Each structure stands twice: as structure tokens, then as C-alpha cells.
Amino acid sequence: MRTLRPLLLALLIAVGFIFYTSARRPQPSGSSSSSPTSWFTGDKNLELTQAAGPENLDPEETVNVNVYKKAVPSVVNIKSRAVSYNFFYGLVPEEGQGTGFILDKEGHILTNYHVIANAQKVEVTLYNRKTVTAQVVGADRHYDLAVLKIDTPSLMPVTLGDSRGLQVGMKVFAIGNPFGLSGTMTRGIVSSIRSVRGPSGDSIDEAIQTDAAINPGNSGGPLLNSRGEVVGINSMIFTGGAEQSAGIGFAIPINTAKAVLNDLVTFGRVRRPSLGVSGLPIGPELAEQMGLASDYGVLIMQVNPGSAADRAGLHGGNERALLGNTPIMLGGDLIVAIDGETVEDMQDLSNALNKHKAGDSVTVTVYRGKKKIDMKVSLGEARTA
């Protein structure tokens, strides 16, 4: 009996040990995506809930991913290098970064003028991380647009959309190089369509305001619709002095760029249209004092010799007068519309002309005395400084 007790005791200890270790072993979770798994970690259990496998994208995620995959191979990073002089006339190297996108397989790239302004050297880094030197083939400060050219094979151009159909509330996506972080996409909506002042102080008509995050380095990159088509060129942000996105960014409408791309590539500049007149904006009070047939419009004071207006037969003023202390000329034609669009002041006149290019024919509606006349005018080219 005494010899059996040690054996029974050893057997009980062995059975107890096997039972204890079996009870603490993790059990298989099966196919459930929400079954807890118990892992032995010393004297504690860590329970993790594991998914059964990758889940399908929801419709919104699918749009996001598709837009990115379609557009990102066409987006490039731009690095510009310039040299300035310090107080002691020493050379100071300057470097800027921005974004652009490929227009065609010939290597034309669209970006902002301010990204490459005054640059002595421009380098472009492609989606495949290859860096090549770019040539500036055309630039326009007024539109804040520039076209570069690179010589490299197998390029993937973007698809250009139509910015006329944009509505407030539509989804838009920005892809660019914010703070040097290449291939970054942000998403938002069209917040508004409005005229704003560009970096050069010129007006950008029908600029696209968006809350998609746009930061330094995004300039020149594409603003895309939900089909991955370019509808704008990201250009400016309103920062309130914070030097970063405040949820108010602006893009140049792609239709504005499409209207001048041929000039930029062919002539290296935009042949901006000109009527060739100096005018005076007219309101109801002035119209009444002058006895004009309309209480709004632009009164032509002078027609430049040889200009588009001169060739079309528009009349300037022939009677000197003073408006306060300012000398003016009365008796000229009063412009009230161009191509059926009302012209109330010089800004309206400028906006109407900027929808065309030099050589285009427009219909100018004027009052000559009390008679309303439609005149065909072939626009000239504005002189550039």
C-alpha cells in the first residue's frame, strides 16, 4: 500500500498538469469574422477580434480608388531652381516645388506660371520616380499658366474634362505634391464658383473654390471630377496667414486653360485679344446727365488708330468735358453688350474679351446716339510690355 501511494500521487499530478495546459490552449476561431481568440501571455489573456479576410470596397471608396489609379500616373512633381542676389550682391540659390500633369504623349505638361517663374532650371519627377529636365515652352502670368516639355517615352496623358458643367456640391479630388509628399490625394466638394484675384493680381473668372485640402506644393496639380477628368488647375489657397490649407482653395477652370493652350505651345505666349478703345463706365446718374440712351455700359472716349475698333468703325468721343477734375470725351458709341452678354463696366468688357483670342470675331452692341447697332469686330492682339 505504501508503495502505491507515491505512484497514485505522481499520476494525479500528471493528469492535473495535462488538464491545466489543455484548458489554456487557444481554440480555433473557425470562419466567423467576430470570434474572439484567446492568447496565453503569462498570467493574462489577450482577446483579439480578427476579420475572416479582406472586405470589398463600398461605392464611395471605389470611386476614390478609381480616380487615383486613373490620374496619378499622369501627375508629376516639379522642382524649379533660380538664383537671386542678396544685399551684398552675392548669388543666393532659390528652389521651389509644385505639381503639373501630362497633356499628351509628346511630353507637354501643364502647371502654374508661379511654379516656374524666373527659374533657370526646371526638373520634373515622373510617377515612376524618373527625374528629367524640362523646357518651358510657353507661359502667361495673367492666366497663371505655363506649359513645359519633356523628352521621355511611355507617358500617360490625363483626360481633360469640361469645367462648364460644375455645380456647387459636386465631388472633386486634388492630387499633388504638398510639402514634398508626392502622389497625395485629397477629396472635397465644389464650394463655389467665383471670380478671384490671381497671384499676379489679375482676375481669374469662374475660379473653382473647393474645400479639398490644397497646400504649398499642390500648385499646378489637377483638380479632378469623380470620373478622373481634369476640371481645374489647383492654384491658390486662402490661409489667413497660417501658410497651410484652411479649407478654402481655388483652381483655374480647365476651360480657361484649353482656350489658350494652343497659343502657349505655338507662340510661347497668349495672344490676348484687344478691342483698342479707352472707355468710361456709365451708371444711371451719369447716363441721365449725359442724355444717353442706356443707363449702363462703357462709353468709348477714344479709339486707337489701326485697332480692331477702328477697323470695325466704332466711334470715339468728339466733345471735351470734365468729370470732376478728370477730362473726358463725350459723343462716342456706348457699348452695352458683347455677343449678347451685358457690359456694364470695364471689368465686364475685359471678361467678355478674355473669353476669346486675337483674331476671333465678336458682335459688339452699341448705342450711337439713340440708335442701337450690332457691329462685327475682328479682335486684335493686345500689346504686351
> 217 near 99, Cβ under 8 Å?
yes
Q: How many CB atoms lie within 10 A of CB 343?
A: 25
Active-site annotation holder among 74, 80, 142, 144: 144
Is 114 known to be catalytic?
yes
DSSP string, 35-86: -EEEEEETTEEEEEE--SSPPPPPHHHHHHHHHHHHHGGGEEEEEEEEEEE-
Q: What is the DSSP string of 110-159?
A: EE-HHHHTT-SEEEEE-TTS-EEEEEEEEEETTTTEEEEE---SS--PPP
Q: Give the chain's end-to-end CA distance (angstroms, integer).
A: 119
Annotated catalytic residue: which of 74, 108, 114, 333? 114
Q: How many CA atoms lie within 13 A of 371 on its CB side?
A: 5
Cell of 5: 501511494
Amino acid present at 365 = T
| Segments in the chain forming alpha helices (H) | 4-24, 59-71, 113-116, 254-267, 284-290, 308-312, 346-353
Residue tagged active-site, from 80, 182, 191, 219: 219
CA 127 to chain centre: 19
CA 358 to centroid of chain Cα atoms? 25
Annotation marks residue 219 as catalytic: yes
Residues involved in catalysis? 114, 144, 219
